[in-house]
Amino acid sequence: MEIIIGIGAFAVFGLFMYCIFVFVWSSATIKTSPRITFDAFKKLYIISPAKWSLGFEDVGYHGDDGWIYLEFKHYIDVLRYGFFKDKIERDNDYLEKIQNEKKFLASVQNDIDAYRRENLAELERIINNTQINAENILQKAEVNSGGDDY
Protein backbone atom coordinates (compact mmCIF):
# COMPACT_ATOMS: atom_id res chain seq x y z
CA MET A 1 0.00 0.00 0.00
CA GLU A 2 2.83 2.37 0.86
CA ILE A 3 4.39 1.72 -2.56
CA ILE A 4 1.20 2.71 -4.35
CA ILE A 5 0.99 5.92 -2.29
CA GLY A 6 4.64 6.66 -3.09
CA ILE A 7 4.13 6.08 -6.81
CA GLY A 8 0.99 8.24 -6.76
CA ALA A 9 2.80 11.03 -4.91
CA PHE A 10 5.67 10.83 -7.37
CA ALA A 11 3.25 10.98 -10.33
CA VAL A 12 1.43 14.01 -8.86
CA PHE A 13 4.76 15.73 -8.16
CA GLY A 14 5.96 14.96 -11.73
CA LEU A 15 2.76 16.30 -13.23
CA PHE A 16 3.05 19.43 -11.09
CA MET A 17 6.66 20.01 -12.20
CA TYR A 18 5.68 19.43 -15.82
CA CYS A 19 2.90 22.03 -15.55
CA ILE A 20 5.32 24.54 -14.03
CA PHE A 21 7.86 23.85 -16.78
CA VAL A 22 5.28 24.25 -19.55
CA PHE A 23 4.02 27.48 -17.94
CA VAL A 24 7.55 28.88 -17.71
CA TRP A 25 8.35 27.73 -21.25
CA SER A 26 5.20 29.25 -22.74
CA SER A 27 5.64 32.54 -20.88
CA ALA A 28 9.28 32.76 -21.96
CA THR A 29 8.46 32.52 -25.65
CA ILE A 30 8.39 35.63 -27.76
CA LYS A 31 4.77 36.39 -28.57
CA THR A 32 5.55 38.08 -31.89
CA SER A 33 7.34 35.08 -33.41
CA PRO A 34 5.41 32.94 -35.84
CA ARG A 35 4.57 29.52 -34.44
CA ILE A 36 4.90 26.33 -36.41
CA THR A 37 4.26 22.66 -35.79
CA PHE A 38 7.15 20.25 -35.90
CA ASP A 39 5.65 18.33 -38.82
CA ALA A 40 5.43 21.53 -40.90
CA PHE A 41 8.98 22.48 -39.92
CA LYS A 42 10.32 19.06 -40.91
CA LYS A 43 8.66 19.27 -44.34
CA LEU A 44 10.06 22.76 -44.93
CA TYR A 45 13.51 21.85 -43.60
CA ILE A 46 13.88 19.02 -46.12
CA ILE A 47 13.32 21.45 -49.01
CA SER A 48 16.23 23.77 -48.11
CA PRO A 49 18.28 22.70 -45.06
CA ALA A 50 21.01 25.28 -45.75
CA LYS A 51 18.61 28.16 -45.07
CA TRP A 52 17.76 27.00 -41.54
CA SER A 53 19.50 27.77 -38.27
CA LEU A 54 18.82 25.18 -35.59
CA GLY A 55 18.64 26.87 -32.18
CA PHE A 56 17.90 25.47 -28.73
CA GLU A 57 14.09 25.69 -28.72
CA ASP A 58 13.47 27.72 -31.85
CA VAL A 59 14.59 27.71 -35.44
CA GLY A 60 15.64 30.48 -37.76
CA TYR A 61 14.93 30.70 -41.45
CA HIS A 62 16.93 32.94 -43.77
CA GLY A 63 14.33 34.29 -46.15
CA ASP A 64 14.24 37.18 -48.59
CA ASP A 65 13.94 39.73 -45.76
CA GLY A 66 16.69 38.25 -43.59
CA TRP A 67 16.39 35.95 -40.60
CA ILE A 68 12.96 34.99 -39.33
CA TYR A 69 12.82 33.10 -36.05
CA LEU A 70 10.03 30.58 -35.57
CA GLU A 71 8.80 28.88 -32.43
CA PHE A 72 7.03 25.60 -32.05
CA LYS A 73 3.35 25.52 -31.16
CA HIS A 74 3.47 22.79 -28.53
CA TYR A 75 5.98 21.63 -26.00
CA ILE A 76 5.91 18.12 -27.51
CA ASP A 77 7.05 19.73 -30.78
CA VAL A 78 10.06 21.13 -28.92
CA LEU A 79 10.89 17.63 -27.66
CA ARG A 80 10.52 16.14 -31.13
CA TYR A 81 12.67 18.96 -32.50
CA GLY A 82 15.35 18.16 -29.90
CA PHE A 83 15.58 14.57 -31.13
CA PHE A 84 15.52 15.74 -34.75
CA LYS A 85 18.30 18.26 -34.10
CA ASP A 86 20.44 15.61 -32.40
CA LYS A 87 19.98 13.33 -35.40
CA ILE A 88 20.91 16.13 -37.82
CA GLU A 89 24.04 16.93 -35.77
CA ARG A 90 25.03 13.23 -35.67
CA ASP A 91 24.49 12.97 -39.42
CA ASN A 92 26.58 16.12 -40.02
CA ASP A 93 29.36 14.78 -37.78
CA TYR A 94 29.29 11.47 -39.65
CA LEU A 95 29.36 13.28 -43.01
CA GLU A 96 32.33 15.38 -41.85
CA LYS A 97 34.10 12.21 -40.69
CA ILE A 98 33.54 10.57 -44.09
CA GLN A 99 34.78 13.69 -45.91
CA ASN A 100 37.91 13.80 -43.73
CA GLU A 101 38.55 10.12 -44.44
CA LYS A 102 38.16 10.77 -48.18
CA LYS A 103 40.65 13.68 -47.97
CA PHE A 104 43.08 11.47 -46.06
CA LEU A 105 42.77 8.61 -48.56
CA ALA A 106 43.16 11.01 -51.49
CA SER A 107 46.34 12.38 -49.90
CA VAL A 108 47.71 8.88 -49.35
CA GLN A 109 46.81 7.97 -52.95
CA ASN A 110 48.72 11.03 -54.18
CA ASP A 111 51.74 9.90 -52.16
CA ILE A 112 51.45 6.39 -53.62
CA ASP A 113 51.21 7.79 -57.16
CA ALA A 114 54.26 10.01 -56.62
CA TYR A 115 56.21 7.06 -55.18
CA ARG A 116 55.14 4.90 -58.11
CA ARG A 117 56.24 7.55 -60.64
CA GLU A 118 59.63 7.93 -58.96
CA ASN A 119 60.20 4.20 -58.75
CA LEU A 120 58.83 3.55 -62.22
CA ALA A 121 61.52 5.79 -63.70
CA GLU A 122 64.14 3.92 -61.66
CA LEU A 123 62.67 0.56 -62.71
CA GLU A 124 62.75 1.59 -66.40
CA ARG A 125 66.39 2.62 -66.01
CA ILE A 126 67.23 -0.76 -64.45
CA ILE A 127 65.38 -2.63 -67.22
CA ASN A 128 67.20 -0.64 -69.93
CA ASN A 129 70.57 -1.32 -68.29
CA THR A 130 69.67 -5.01 -68.00
CA GLN A 131 68.72 -5.19 -71.68
CA ILE A 132 71.93 -3.45 -72.70
CA ASN A 133 73.97 -5.81 -70.51
CA ALA A 134 72.13 -8.83 -71.95
CA GLU A 135 72.81 -7.66 -75.51
CA ASN A 136 76.49 -7.12 -74.67
CA ILE A 137 76.73 -10.60 -73.16
CA LEU A 138 75.09 -12.14 -76.25
CA GLN A 139 77.48 -10.28 -78.55
CA LYS A 140 80.48 -11.44 -76.52
CA ALA A 141 79.15 -14.98 -76.54
CA GLU A 142 78.82 -14.91 -80.33
CA VAL A 143 82.33 -13.49 -80.72
CA ASN A 144 83.79 -16.08 -78.34
CA SER A 145 82.00 -18.97 -79.99
CA GLY A 146 83.11 -17.91 -83.42
CA GLY A 147 79.61 -17.69 -84.71
CA ASP A 148 79.92 -21.15 -86.35
CA ASP A 149 77.07 -23.59 -86.27
CA TYR A 150 78.01 -27.26 -85.96
pLDDT band at 108 (very low <50, low <70, confident <90, very high): very high
Taking each helix axis from N to C terminus, what angle separates 38-47 and 75-145, rounded to the nearest 10 degrees? Answer: 30
Average confidence (pLDDT) over 118-137: 86
For residue 140, pLDDT over 80 is answered with: yes
Give Cα 72 distance to the centre of its chain: 27
Is 107 exposed, middle or buried (CB count within 10 Å of its CB: 0-12, 13-18, 19+)?
exposed
For residue 23, pLDDT over 70 is answered with: no
Q: How far is CA 124 from CA 10, 112, 113, 116, 127, in A?
A: 83, 18, 16, 12, 5
Mean pLDDT for the chain? 83
Higher pLDDT, 72 or 107: 107
3-state SS class at 148: coil
Higher pLDDT, 61 or 57: 61
3-state SS class at 150: coil
Share of the chain above pLDDT 70, in %: 88
For residue 11, pLDDT over 70 is answered with: yes
Q: Are 91 and 82 in contact (CB under 8 A)?
A: no
Residue type, 92: N
pTM reported for the whole predicted model: 0.51
Average confidence (pLDDT) over 51-80: 82
Quote the Cα angle for 45-47-51, to 5°. 60
